[in-house]
Structure 1
Amino acid sequence: MTRYNAPMTSPPALFRLALSRPAIFRGAVSALALATLVAALPASAAERKPAPHAAPDREAVERARQAASCLQMAEKTPKAAFESALTWQDRGGGDMARLCQAMALFHQGQFQASATRLEDLVPTLGKDTPEGASSLLARAGWAWLRAGDSDKAEKAYTAAIDRSPRDPELLVDRAFARAESERYWDAIEDLNRAIGMAPKRAEPYLYRAGAFRALGNDSKALEDVGVALALEPGNPEALLLRGNLRAVTGNPDGAKSDWRSVMRIDPDTTSAKAASDNLARLQGAEAEGKPPAK
């Protein structure tokens, strides 16, 4: 029986694939957007100081500028950013400096420490707007996932959803956490809700297809991946998944076509390598007269 590399279909690797994407922090806005969001909030009581001659708008702009600079550094040179944020905190940077420390720890791979610090910031940086709190909690959830603690990740995402219940991204994120615990029906429930809120987005259909595949429902998986590709025709992950599904449902020519498309559209990636390996396995199986694996 031939086995196909399926980073989008073998449980719970469907959702783990996204964890390895460089430069993607799922469920979270960019560093600049985060800095602007939380820096515009009122300073915490511990940070408020009399400044009779300072213009509040200018102070907010400067806080946002410093935060954006630090958060961008955290992505590129996290160790240096962490040290810089410690110095900034000593000089009165307060919660914004602590936020930068948390993000620097994340980009260093210290996910548990990052998640804990992000959650600790919610009562202060997230107290004034639901968006601020849910953004911090979404980051904490992703850090918990990277730390391998899907239970804490789900709790963080649930808290984020409680504050921003109409955000489909948060539902997709919680689906990741639930799938990591192999709770595929719970993941599908979240993805159903995300699709109801954003029916023209390909991603929830793609992930729901992977969940159905993990449950052994290839017909539903094919249906969903077809919708994903109708919405986003060149999506390499969707093409890879459809190729895998076609290979095990009696459509080898369709599988080969999809895998070759992945290799052409998205070369030098995990998806392209999986597609290349699967193509070689299928061709080898055909040469030996073996049936494809389910």
Structure 2
Amino acid sequence: MILLALLLQAAPATETPEARLERCADIAAANPAEGTAAASSWRLSGGGFLARQCLGFAYAAAANYPAAAGAFEEAARDAEVAKDRRSATLWSQAGNAWLAAGDPQKARAALDAALAGAALTGLALGETHLDRARALVAANETARARTDLDAALVHAAGDPLAWLLSATLARRTGDLPRARKDIAEALARAPDDASVQLEAGNISALDGDEPGARGGWMKAVQLAPDTPVGAAARTALAQFDAGK
């Protein structure tokens, strides 16, 4: 707690709430326990929704995603009471945390709230559509997920995950031309991502391209040998060989 005390003492008297949030978030990233203490102290002294947001950052840094989601939701509600447009960002952060917690239903509710107004723009809007698409896929609502993914590709086109998920959804729904197109975009942005290579192999296999399938799966194994993605790629390779 010595570091926390020194950081708090170093705060300039004219520090803005936004600057304090940034400092609090830095503490949370470096030491989640100290970040929790800093955020809690700030909240008790009238930090409002920004203090609750920092508390969410601290919980997320500690991988306590349900608690993080709850803190972000409380912050979002406080921001709504204050009529602050940053409530949309806070709802989006809550949705992302619920996804990390493995609760897509709660994630969807939070992301619906984030997208209810027109406060989000640009990359933040795209990433929120992407997260809601993930929640909708988990609920097997593929048509609605496609709508959100298409929006994500407009506003977050630089994110390889958007292209990967779009390609995966296209493959699962039988749209092979779209799957090929979108996985190519994902590969262009993240060729060293094992998940992208795994999906590239899956799409090549469905397309009857054995060399392409083998190449993608082998690359996935090389990139992430001791992960579920690498294990899935090894299983896929074995199934390919069994078909000979």
If the TM-score is normalised by the length of the shorter chain, which range does it land in? Answer: 0.7 to 0.9
Amino acid at match of 1:258: G
Higher fraction of helix: 2
Q: 5 Å matches for 1:1-294?
A: 58-60=14-16, 63-125=17-79, 127=82, 129-130=84-85, 132-161=86-115, 162=117, 163-164=119-120, 166=122, 167-199=125-157, 202-265=160-223, 269-283=227-241, 285-286=242-243, 289=244
- Structure 1 window deviating more from structure 2 (114-123 vs 230-239): it is 230-239
Give the whole-Å Cα distance in 2 for the aligned partners of 1:183 and 1:255.
28
Q: CA-to-partner distance for each residue in 1:24-79, whole Å, 9 max, x for gaps?
A: xxxxxxxxxxxxxxxxxxxxxxxxxxxxxxx99x331xx44443333233344323
- Runs of 5+ in structure 2 lacking a partner? 1-11
Give the whole-Å Cα distance in 1 for the aligned partners of 2:45 and 2:238.
59
Q: TM-score, normalised by structure 2?
A: 0.76
Q: CA-to-partner distance for each residue in 1:192-224, whole Å, 9 max, x for gaps?
A: 122234556543222111112233444432332
Amino acid at match of 1:261: K
Give the whole-Å Cα distance in 1 for the aligned partners of 2:201 and 2:151.
27
RMSD (CA atoms): 3.1
Q: TM-score, normalised by structure 1?
A: 0.65
8 Å CA contact retained: 2:167, 2:179: yes
Give the whole-Å Cα distance in 2 for the aligned partners of 1:98 and 1:152.
19
Give the whole-Å Cα distance in 2 for the aligned partners of 1:125 and 1:88.
16
Higher relative contact order structure (alpha carbons within 8 Å, sequence separation ≥ 6): 1
Decide whether aligned partners of structure 1 residues 79 and 200 sit closer, same or farther in structure 2, where only a CA change above 3 A counts: closer
Deviation at 1:180, TM superposition (A): 1.4
- Runs of 5+ in structure 1 lacking a partner? 1-54, 290-294
Give the whole-Å Cα distance in 1 for the aligned partners of 2:68 and 2:155.
30
Deviation at 1:186, TM superposition (A): 0.8
Give the whole-Å Cα distance in 1 for the aligned partners of 2:190 and 2:64.
34
Give the whole-Å Cα distance in 2 for the aligned partners of 1:141 and 1:99.
13
Decide whether aligned partners of structure 1 residues 133 and 216 sit closer, same or farther in structure 2, where only a CA change above 3 A counts: same
Deviation at 1:119, TM superposition (A): 1.9
8 Å CA contact retained: 2:49, 2:76: no
SS of match in other structure, 1:59: coil
Q: How many aligned positions are there?
A: 228
